[in-house]
């Protein structure tokens, strides 16, 4: 019998407990504490409460919750008969149909894992779509997580337990995230296209105007048409533009979208989620023959990552009139100019045509963008969605500390000009200053003593700095403090410091009214509102120059890893993103 939220909220405590049988069955305290919070406004809220019960439990309770879980490896079995014909099918069949090699590998991983962490490996084997991971995916996840620090892996086990509970709740309530699953599948379809060398390696890479890129554009057009957009076209820079018209031809337009190109060996969701979520909303409106009091324009931006040409944000930039004419003559690694690439793609490749892409702000309400977070915050907070307050401004430096090399044994500590120690002090100063702001970040990603010897005091040390903050004045203040502190450290230690500022991008704070609309949409889903800055740049940063903008973030799995094949979110979270977009649209009617 299907459970409903109303039943769960209104029934007696013991019946409620009974109805949730099979969830946290070895650790009844979880359900016990969660049910004390009834009534729940939504399934999403119940899930969040369950997660909060666990995350606020004591370490001992968390550990015993994990340890109560059966060994995943205990389910591994060697298949009785294995023919080469049946192998492919069995790859989908979980751990009960292993080859002897796979079985041994799993047993070894399991032993190493238990020895390192002291608890069993936990994985929601139904995976992010809810329909099952392959043996290969299970084994590679096992291998990867074996390398994690213990405290992080403990958190990951708890998150996997939540994911298992989420799927069991879906079954009990028969609330399939069906729009989310469709959006998931659209991503899979689009991910079939990848630039040749990468495709062969099983990697996803779609760079500007390659064959794969044009195939993506063609598929997006098709999909938009199937969704019921009234106008669908590819513009002069390769953006795929779909318009779902209002009944009022003079109405303004709400602009949304994100990019469909990728970095080299990137993820399937970075950018594309922001095209597909509003497309699904149009599909649902059209299904019900509903029209909005404004036009809804969804753009799949052709170029955001700057991988084939150094022309980052070309797609969204073209809408703001920010197209650098010199780009047309820029050549890619194979010597093909952008002009030629455009012509090969059937685009006019003239500045006049590109100029025509520019939008007139007075026709637009705003730009809103959905994007996968690309960071660990929502995943760690057990929140499926978050609201962006600002896209951080950033500045980058390449630095060199020059000291004096000398013998590590014969040079007293007080007579050294050690480039590495000076750099170490600088790195801590950068961290210390960035922490002070709460929402600024500072990173030294490159660090290197050239030709370092164990018994020689480093004469030089090279490093990079990346500073970001949600507001330019905040970034500028941090930058000024850090540059002055670094110089002071150099002077104090008698070393010289060369710093080259190689990049500076201004911040793009969200429009407060549109940000509030996202917040209301999230509240409407029964989920707590989490406000956060975007550390990475997005197309909204370009549109910011032209109109109000605000972004919605969707949780990423695996600590929010992005620009990586491991980038992932779940069908459930995609479903909530569609629901949030729908709420937001509804609030404008």
Site for a copy of itself in 510-569 (CB under 8 A): 534-537, 559-563
Please tell me whether residue 424 binds a copy of itself under the rule CB under 8 A.
yes
Whose Cβ is closer to a copy of itself: residue 440's or residue 515's?
Answer: 440
Please tell me whether residue 483 binds a copy of itself under the rule CB under 8 A.
no
Q: Say if CB 393 and CB 538 are below 8 A apart.
A: no
Answer for which of 67, 252, 448, 523 binds a copy of itself (CB under 8 A) is 448
Q: Say if CB 298 and CB 242 are below 8 A apart.
A: yes
Number of residues that bind a copy of itself (CB under 8 A): 74
Answer for which of 100, 111, 428, 480 binds a copy of itself (CB under 8 A) is 428
Minimum CB distance to a copy of itself, residue 267 (Å):
12
Please tell me whether residue 449 binds a copy of itself under the rule CB under 8 A.
yes
Minimum CB distance to a copy of itself, residue 254 (Å):
26
CA pair distance 467, 535, nearest whole angstrom? 10
Please tell me whether residue 464 binds a copy of itself under the rule CB under 8 A.
yes
Please tell me whether residue 468 binds a copy of itself under the rule CB under 8 A.
yes
Q: Say if CB 274 and CB 256 are below 8 A apart.
A: yes
CA pair distance 318, 545, nearest whole angstrom? 12
Whose Cβ is closer to a copy of itself: residue 107's or residue 411's?
Answer: 411
Minimum CB distance to a copy of itself, residue 56 (Å):
18
Q: Which residues of 296-316 are buried (b: 16+ CB within 10 A; e: fewer)?
A: bbbbbbbbbbebbbebbbbbb
Q: What is the DSSP string of 121-135?
A: ----TTTTTSS---H
Residues 148-207 interacting with a copy of itself (rule: CB under 8 A): 148-149, 151-152
Whose Cβ is closer to a copy of itself: residue 243's or residue 461's?
Answer: 461
Q: What is the DSSP string of 419-463?
A: HHHHHHHHHHHHHHHHHHTSS-EEE---EE-TT--TTEE-SEEEE
Residues 93-112 interacting with a copy of itself (rule: CB under 8 A): none
Q: Which residues contact 23 (CB under 8 A, 6 or more apart)?
A: 30, 31, 50, 165, 168, 169, 172
From residue 131, how far is each of 127, 178, 180, 281, 569 by CA, in Å?
A: 7, 12, 13, 24, 14
Whose Cβ is closer to a copy of itself: residue 344's or residue 481's?
Answer: 481
Minimum CB distance to a copy of itself, residue 238 (Å):
26
SS (H, E, C) 138-172: HHHHHHHHHCCCHHHHHHHHHHHHHHHHHHHHHHH
Q: Contact letters (x/-) for a copy of itself, 10-49, by CB under 8 A?
A: ----------------------------------------
Please tell me whether residue 68 binds a copy of itself under the rule CB under 8 A.
no
Residues 361-420 interacting with a copy of itself (rule: CB under 8 A): 373-377, 380, 392, 394, 396, 398, 402-404, 406-415, 417-418, 420
Which SS3 state, helix, strand or coil, does residue 20 take?
Answer: coil
Stretch that binds a copy of itself, among 227-235, 332-340, 431-439, 569-577 (CB under 8 A): 431-439
Q: Which residues does residue 464 pair with via DSSP β-bridges, in sequence order?
A: 398
Whose Cβ is closer to a copy of itself: residue 97's or residue 394's?
Answer: 394
């Amino acid at each position: 019998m299907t459970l409903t939220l109303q039943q769960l909220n209104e029934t007696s405590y013991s019946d409620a407990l009974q109805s949730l049988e099979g969830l946290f069955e070895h650790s009844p305290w979880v359900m016990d504490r969660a049910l004390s919070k009834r009534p729940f406004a939504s399934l999403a809220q119940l899930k969040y409460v369950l997660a909060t019960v666990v995350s606020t439990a004591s370490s001992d309770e968390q550990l015993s919750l994990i340890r109560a879980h059966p060994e995943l490896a205990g389910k591994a079995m060697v298949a009785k008969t294995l023919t080469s014909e049946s192998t492919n099918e069995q790859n989908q069949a979980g751990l009960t149909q292993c080859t002897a090699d796979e079985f041994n590998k799993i047993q070894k991983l399991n032993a190493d894992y238990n020895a390192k962490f002291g608890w069993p490996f936990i994985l929601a084997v139904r995976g992010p779509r809810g329909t099952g991971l392959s043996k290969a995916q299970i084994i590679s996840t096992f291998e990867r997580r074996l390398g994690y620090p213990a405290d992080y892996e403990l958190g990951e086990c708890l998150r996997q337990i939540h994911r298992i509970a989420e799927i069991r709740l879906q079954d009990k309530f028969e609330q399939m995230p069906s729009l989310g699953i469709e959006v998931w599948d659209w991503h899979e379809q689009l991910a079939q296209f990848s630039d040749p060398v990468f495709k062969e390696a099983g990697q996803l890479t779609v760079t500007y105007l390659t064959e794969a890129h044009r195939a993506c554009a063609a598929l997006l057009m098709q999909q938009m048409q199937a969704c019921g957009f009234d106008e669908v076209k590819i513009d002069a820079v390769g953006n795929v533009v779909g318009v779902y018209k209002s009944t009022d031809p003079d109405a303004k337009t709400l602009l949304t979208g994100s990019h469909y190109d990728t970095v080299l060996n990137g993820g399937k969701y970075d950018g594309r989620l922001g095209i597909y979520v509003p497309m699904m909303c149009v599909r649902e409106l059209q299904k019900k023959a509903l029209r909005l009091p404004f036009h809804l324009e969804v753009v799949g931006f052709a170029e955001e990552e700057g991988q084939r040409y150094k022309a980052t944000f070309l797609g969204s930039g073209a809408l703001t009139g920010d197209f650098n004419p010199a780009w047309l003559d820029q050549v890619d690694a194979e010597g093909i100019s952008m002009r030629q690439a455009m012509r090969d793609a059937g685009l006019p490749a003239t500045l006049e045509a590109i100029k025509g892409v520019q939008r007139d702000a007075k026709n637009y309400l705003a730009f809103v963008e959905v994007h996968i977070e690309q960071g660990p915050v929502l995943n760690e907070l057990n929140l499926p969605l978050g609201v962006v307050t600002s896209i951080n401004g950033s500045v980058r430096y390449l630095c060199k500390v020059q000291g004096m090399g000398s013998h590590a044994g014969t040079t007293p500590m007080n007579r050294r000009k050690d480039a590495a120690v000076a750099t170490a002090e600088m790195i801590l100063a950068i961290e210390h200053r960035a922490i002070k702001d709460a929402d600024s970040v500072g990173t030294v990603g490159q660090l290197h003593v050239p030709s370092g010897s164990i018994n020689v005091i480093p004469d030089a040390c090279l490093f990079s700095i990346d500073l970001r903050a949600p507001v330019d004045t905040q970034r500028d203040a941090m930058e000024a403090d850090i540059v002055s502190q670094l110089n002071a450290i150099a002077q104090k230690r008698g070393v010289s410091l060369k710093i080259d500022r190689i990049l500076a991008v201004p911040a793009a704070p969200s429009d407060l009214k549109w940000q509030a609309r996202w917040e209301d949409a999230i509240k409407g889903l029964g989920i707590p509102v989490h406000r956060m800055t975007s550390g990475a740049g997005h197309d909204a940063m370009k549109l910011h120059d032209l109109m109000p903008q605000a972004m919605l973030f969707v949780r990423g799995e695996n600590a929010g890893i992005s620009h990586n094949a491991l980038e992932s979110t779940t069908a459930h979270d995609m479903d909530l993103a569609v629901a949030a977009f729908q709420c937001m649209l509804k609030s404008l009617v």
